[in-house]
Amino acid sequence: GDSVTQMEGPVTLSEEAFLTINCTYTATGYPSLFWYVQYPGEGLQLLLKATKADDKGSNKGFEATYRKETTSFHLEKGSVQVSDSAVYFCALSLKAAGNKLTFGGGTRVLVKP
Amino acid sequence: DAGVTQSPTHLIKTRGQQVTLRCSPKSGHDTVSWYQQALGQGPQFIFQYYEEEERQRGNFPDRFSGHQFPNYSSELNVNALLLGDSALYLCASSLEAGTAGANVLTFGAGSRLTVL
């Protein structure tokens, strides 16, 4: 079945450090890929998405590139802030599956001042 | 423009009881999905509703049921609660599958259920 694997956390960084969260996927079709962020006590917010190979999603300084050859969608940010502390989820959806989301287990990121 | 609203935000039940959670979708959205997020894990798909019918279902027992109303709002019902049902229940709304932008889900803040 379809699945998403992302690096386990927690990831602890200092402010202005570079952040990478690895994400790989397995899918029977050609999925759309997403990164969602969950701040403490809140629901999920869409951070960025990509719908086809080599697309780059970007938002709020975060970027991720859809790599079909490596089935990956790694999240990066060049300079993190304390406000980026959250749990990040990689997810995929398939149009043929009604666009239901399949999530990875989440990566907790803690940015210290 | 209100996003997805869920109620209640928190609730505590005991084993064997029944619970109903409610969701109002984002304005303009007609499809509602429910997800269960256990502590420290990623959300798991429960089911999706469109045109008042369950369109697809994840790997959850029949104790989990739902409903969608003509105004697109939805309810999630869980019967015979187990300790393992303790989780954050997330509602997400979207446009009908096949519509441009249908793959973008908007999530509510969730209902946190604790089963004692």
pLDDT over 70, % of chain B: 96
DSSP string, chain A: --EEEE--S-EEEETT--EEE-EEEE-SS--EEEEEEE-TT--EEEEEEE-STT-EEEETTEEEE-BTTTTB--EEESS--GGG-EEEEEEEE-GGGTT-EEE---EEEEEE-
pLDDT in tens, A30-55: 899 999 999 988 889 999 999 999 99
- Beta-carbon separation of B42 and A49 below 8 A: no
Answer whether A17's CB lies under 8 Å from B79's CB.
Answer: no
Cα B31 to its chain centre, rounded Å, is: 11
| Distance from the first to the final alpha carbon of chain A | 41
- Distance, in angstroms, between B64 CA and closest chain A CA? 17
pLDDT in tens, B50-67: 999 999 999 999 999 999
pLDDT of residue A77: 98
Residue range A69-92: average pLDDT? Answer: 96
- Beta-carbon separation of B42 and A42 below 8 A: no
